[in-house]
Amino acid sequence: MSAVLSLPLEAPVLEQTLPPAAPEALFPPDDYVSIRGVRLPRTELVDRSLFSAAQRDRLRNALMAASPFPHLVLENLFNPKLLELVAEEFDAQPGTSWTEVKSRYESTRRSVLGPALGPATQLYFDTVHSGWFIDWLSSLTGVPYLLPDPKLFGGGLHESRTGATFAVHRDFNRHRHLGLKNEMVFITYLNKGWSPDWGSGLELWDKKNDRCVSTVQPEFGRTILLPHGPISYHGHTKPLQAPDGRPRRSVAAYYYSSPLAGKQHGDESASVFMKTHRVDRAKAVARMLTPPVVWLLARKVTGRA
């Protein structure tokens, strides 16, 4: 499965050393955020134990071994008080913040591109878009140089109502506006006391054998990481039928990569100075006149750029 999805089995060597835990560990214990009277210590926004080297190895192995394609389900990654506040803010979003999506293949509503978010929801996305969190995702999936999308194209707030379904599909390959490659989606569910009898569980399908292999119920505090690839088919085909008419809610973030990520770009990745020293000008001329292989060999021998 991993070969089809082009996910390396080993974590990449990144330019910076990955932190042993979320940076909140460096904050003093009394450093906190207060939202609507709820105190959220910065050291407790996420379960920092999952960021240790041993846990990264365990989670990466679990992701790669998952069927019918690599994915990872996590329980209680985020502080439940934060998620409760996020759930509250769905009802506070004005009607202009939503896009209704209805076709023969899906029925759902999503937040618009670049939505104005409530403070708890913004804190959630600030967390999952932060550098230390993205490094953690890279260490789990083996995809370096992941890029977030603060405007939340395709992501943001998701809500399904009674009767809603989403046909089995795989997500888009490219960001519509940026042209970046879609690498994965990260979804956290916000539904307390969810019953499988109500439908709308996330189904993971085996395309080759045309069957659902696994179903992830959208229970509160549950998060799923879905790497994108040619066989990552999923959906919720059983119509939502909660007895009290409650909606199915989640927050989602997509991550991307650039085709030029991790590659040396020579002068294109360096600052251009208006005035340069004659020695540096001479080096620049020598470099233009020297075959690249010879120049790289010279750098290797001298150990200098």
**Could you report the per-residue pLDDT of 260-304, keeping only the tens digit for each?**
877 766 666 677 777 777 777 777 777 667 776 675 676 666 655
- 38 contact partners, CB below 8 Å, separation of at least 6: 81, 84, 85
**Domain of 34: which CATH number?**
2.60.120.620
Average pLDDT in the 134-156 region?
96
- 97, exposed or middle or buried, with CB in 10 Å at 0-12, 13-18, 19+? middle
User: What is the residue whose two structure tokens read 């659902």?
Assistant: 212
What pLDDT, on the 0 to 100 scale, is given for residue 91?
95
22 with 85, same domain: the answer is yes
What pLDDT, on the 0 to 100 scale, is given for residue 56?
97
Query: Residue 45 and residue 35: Cα distance in Å, rounded?
Result: 13
101 with 185, same domain: the answer is yes
The structural domain count of the chain equals 2
- What does DSSP assign to residue 132? H
Whole domain around residue 291: which residue ranges? 266-302
36 with 56, same domain: the answer is yes
44 with 163, same domain: the answer is yes
220 with 280, same domain: the answer is no
276 with 251, same domain: the answer is no
What pLDDT, on the 0 to 100 scale, is given for residue 49?
94
- 258, exposed or middle or buried, with CB in 10 Å at 0-12, 13-18, 19+? middle
Mean pLDDT across the chain: 87
250 with 287, same domain: the answer is no
pLDDT: which is higher, 6 or 282: 282
**Could you report the per-residue pLDDT of 235-258, keeping only the tens digit for each?**
999 999 999 999 999 999 999 999
- 146, exposed or middle or buried, with CB in 10 Å at 0-12, 13-18, 19+? buried
Within 10 Å of residue 235's Cβ, how many Cβ atoms? 18
What pLDDT, on the 0 to 100 scale, is given for residue 275?
75
What pLDDT, on the 0 to 100 scale, is given for residue 25?
57
155 with 32, same domain: the answer is yes
Backbone phi, psi, residue 73, to 5°: -110, 130
User: What is the residue whose two structure tokens read 């021998």?
Assistant: 301
54 with 190, same domain: the answer is yes
User: Is the pLDDT at 54 greater than 90, yes or no?
Assistant: yes
Q: What band does 105 get if pLDDT is binned at 50, 70 and 90?
A: very high
State the pTM of this model. 0.83
222 with 290, same domain: the answer is no
User: What is the residue whose two structure tokens read 């992941």?
Assistant: 146
Within 10 Å of residue 71's Cβ, how many Cβ atoms? 22
248 with 274, same domain: the answer is no
- Per-position DSSP letters for 267-286, written without gaps between them: GGGS---SS--HHHHHHHHH
